[in-house]
Amino acid sequence: MNTELFGVISIFIISIVLAIPIGKYIAKVYLGDKTFLDPIFNPIEKFIFKISGINSTEEMNWKQHLKALLSINMIWFFLCFFVLLFQGSLFLNPDNNPSMSPDLAFNTAISFVVNCNLQHYSGESGVSYLSQMFLMFLQFVSAGVGMAAAAMIFTAMKERTTDKLGNFYDYFIKSCTRILLPLSVIVATVLAFSGTPMDFDSKDSITTLQGDHVDVSRGPAAAFIAIKHIGTNGGGFFGANSAHPLENPTYFTNGIELWAQLIIPFAMIFALGFYLKKKKLSYVIFGVMTVGFLLLVVPTVMSEMNGNPAIEKMGIAQTTGAMEGKEVRFGPAISGFWSIATTVISTGSVNSMHDSSMPVSGAMELLAMMVNAFYGGCGVGILNFYIFIILAVFISGLMVGRTPEFLGKKIEAREVKIAAFIAILHPLLILSGTALASYFAAHDTAMGYWFSGNATGWLNNPGHHGFSEMLYEYTSSAANNGSGFEGLGDNNPFWNITTGIVLLLSRFIPIVGPLAIAGLLANKKYIPESAGTLKTDTSIFGVMVFAVIAIIAALSFFPALALGPLAEYFTLK
């Protein structure tokens, strides 16, 4: 038991320590400084830009960034949609898996384009190897897009007045080739040597020791699982995601996969400090995020290690903790830690089934996605946190009677309006989606085209937990997370289409907002720091940001949490 806690703590600390040099490297990449990988990637990138006819040195303003970002995402969506729709008759499909229904293809294509990886299918039977490879491509580029957006914000935060904010394509390609690719190669290699398959063969047929016949799914998994974590995508190669023994074979690979999903979100925050030469600011941000993260992790790990009181009542000792939906090789401690790491960051891969988590853990997992700003996904984590910084600057500026300023730029009505809109959008999407689904479930409505049968049919658990299943699905979509209370019957037009819409809105609007704010601020006159400046790199300001986050999340989500996991907690004795 103690070695399990030791495992959790050491992975966390190793990730933080390694994030500092990698953050320095990321800052160098975006600054265009020399790095040791230049000899490999300079020619490759030059070749790509030359063939595509894109001038990667031309500086763009924030609107041009957005236009480039949105158009290329549109192209990816349509390509992916058609691949999934016709995968059954295309090549690289040794298991003869069928094509997707239009609504499922719609949901899946959006979900991978927006870095969410909500999966309403199972990898073994729902997609061909061609689709897996295409989805893997999206795992690279969707993470690259998030990082490119963050890089534009970094540029905009510099102490100068300009509308020239670097080149989108340059940031995007460099994020993919120089950051995501090398890390993925390392992780994929480790996984391949630890027992994760990397082949293109169909299912293997074997006779077991006891004499049963069974088919075993395999495939090009190692490459896929590496980028799924490095890019904080989270979509599993197999149905059970990283709980599957081929996707995550040992305690050691579990540590590697945890590290892989934590490293870029951690490193991006340090990269900000190196990029702006304001290390203190990045320490304050990292500190706030870490406090929030620990507040979620500790209760989760404790409640999972304590086990299920209802099963304890039957006379079964809970010395090994709550094991429903968990794997013996991981145990409850690291599974609890993973469940928060994956929800705080927008990975959404799972190594245990969250639907079977204890109520307290379920509440923490939900809260992690509701806040959606502690560390956060590849690049977009910083974007979400940026919104809260703007709000905190504004509120504390009002409180002390000083003009709200952030990094020498005045925050005015327009920026605050955008920030407030983004902050409200998240609860709005989650709660209205949940309200809609709960309404149907409460009335057990016959759903017609939208769902075969009555609405309660999509629930896998009754009562409060059933409500949590619906709440979780929309929260996960709005946080672009992709994990689920997977008992929910979600492969049907109702869930595919409603979550698809939530996914789209909650990915692109929270990118548009921060980019717009940063672009507007960059264009303003730079005011040098004076005695009247509100300092943003102090622990007091850190507390302020934390308070803003806590108030927004607590006020908007507490009623929903009370109806779901909290109510379940009090009934489970």
Binding-residue pattern over the window 392 to 431 for other proteins, x denoting contact by CB under 8 A: ----------------------------------------
Residues 6+ apart with CB under 8 A from 155: 30, 165, 166, 522
Site residues for other proteins, 153-172, by CB under 8 A, read 169
Q: Give the list of residues 6+ apart from residue 387 with CB closer than 8 angstroms, or none.
A: 373, 419, 422, 423, 510, 513, 514, 517
The correct pick among 34, 210, 400, 531 for binding other proteins (CB under 8 A) is: 210
Which residues 257-316 are close enough to bind other proteins by CB under 8 A? Answer: 307-308, 310-311, 314-316
| Binding flag, residue 223, other proteins (CB under 8 A) | yes
Q: Which alpha helices (DSSP H) does 523-573 contain, by range?
A: 539-561, 567-571
- Site for other proteins contains 58 (CB under 8 A): no
230 burial (CB, 10 Å; 0-12 / 13-18 / 19+) is buried
Contact flag: residue 358 with other proteins (CB under 8 A): yes
Minimum distance of other proteins from residue 226's CB (angstroms): 8
Between the alpha carbon of residue 379 and those of residues 125, 231, 232, 337, the distances in Å are: 32, 10, 10, 22
For residue 482, the minimal CB distance to other proteins (Å) is 16
- How many chain residues touch other proteins (CB under 8 A)? 116
CA dist 285 and 384 (Å) reads: 12
> Which residue in 177, 346, 475, 496 binds other proteins (CB under 8 A)?
177
Dist. CA 374–CA 382, nearest whole Å: 9
Q: Give the contact letters, 1-40, x = binds to other proteins (CB under 8 A), - = no.
A: --xx-xx--x------------------------------
CB of 418 to other proteins, least distance (A): 27
- In total, the chain counts a number of residues equal to 573
- Binds other proteins (CB under 8 A): choice among 64, 122, 438, 445: 122
CA 452, chain centre distance (Å): 31
Nearest to 480 by CA among 340, 548, 378, 404: 378
Backbone angles phi, psi at 446, to 5 degrees: -75, 125
Site for other proteins in 305-344 (CB under 8 A): 307-308, 310-311, 314-331, 334
Judged by beta carbon, residue 188 or residue 419, the one nearer other proteins is 188
Among 35, 82, 102, 137, binds other proteins (CB under 8 A): 137
Candidates 30, 77, 121, 140; binder of other proteins (CB under 8 A) is 140
In angstroms, the Cα distances linking 101 to 92, 345, 452 are 19, 30, 15
Show the beta-strand stretches assigned E in 342-489.
Answer: 405-406, 409-410
Pick from 109, 176, 262, 345 the residue near other proteins by CB under 8 A. Answer: 176
Select the residue interacting with other proteins from 199, 399, 402, 550 (CB under 8 A). Answer: 199
Q: How far is the CB of 92 from other proteins (least distance, A)?
A: 11
Residues between 456 and 495 that touch other proteins (CB under 8 A):
460-465, 468, 485-487
For the bound state, the minimum distance from the C-beta of residue 190 to other proteins, rounded and expressed in Å, comes to 10
Of these, 106, 121, 171, 238, which contacts other proteins (CB under 8 A)?
A: 238
What is the DSSP-derived secondary structure letter of residue 98?
Answer: P
Rounded to the nearest angstrom, the gap between the alpha carbon of residue 341 and the centroid of all alpha carbons in its chain is: 10
Among 179, 350, 423, 431, binds other proteins (CB under 8 A): 350
Asked whether position 41 contacts other proteins by CB under 8 A, the answer is no
Burial of 72 (0-12, 13-18, 19+ CB in 10 A): middle
For residues 107 and 77, give the distance between their C-alpha atoms in angstroms, rounded to a whole number.
10
Candidate list 13, 40, 44, 554; residue touching other proteins; CB under 8 A: 44
- With CB under 8 A as the contact rule, the residue among 13, 40, 216, 446 that binds other proteins is 216
* Of the residues 48, 276, 395, 497, which one makes contact with other proteins according to CB under 8 A: 48
**Using CB under 8 A, which residues numbered 363 to 392 contact other proteins?**
none
CB of 139 to other proteins, least distance (A): 8
76/541 with CB nearer other proteins: 76
Please say which residue, 246 or 370, places its beta carbon nearer to other proteins: 246
Among 12, 30, 76, 121, binds other proteins (CB under 8 A): 76
Report the residue from 60, 113, 147, 173 that binds other proteins according to the rule CB under 8 A. Answer: 173
Task: Choose among 486, 482, 495, 444: nearest CA to 465.
Answer: 486
Residue 570 has a CB neighbour count (10 Å cut-off) of 10
Q: CA-based Rg of the chain, rounded to a whole angstrom?
A: 23
Q: What is the DSSP string of 383-419?
A: HHHHHHHHHHHHHHHHHHTS--EETTEE--HHHHHHH
DSSP bridge pairs for 207:
213
Least separation in angstroms between residue 456's CB and other proteins is 14
User: Candidates 50-58, 268-276, 367-375, 422-430 — which segment interacts with other proteins by CB under 8 A?
Assistant: 50-58
Q: Tell me how far apart the alpha carbons of residues 28 and 135 are, in angstroms, rounded to a whole number.
A: 29
189 binds other proteins (CB under 8 A): yes
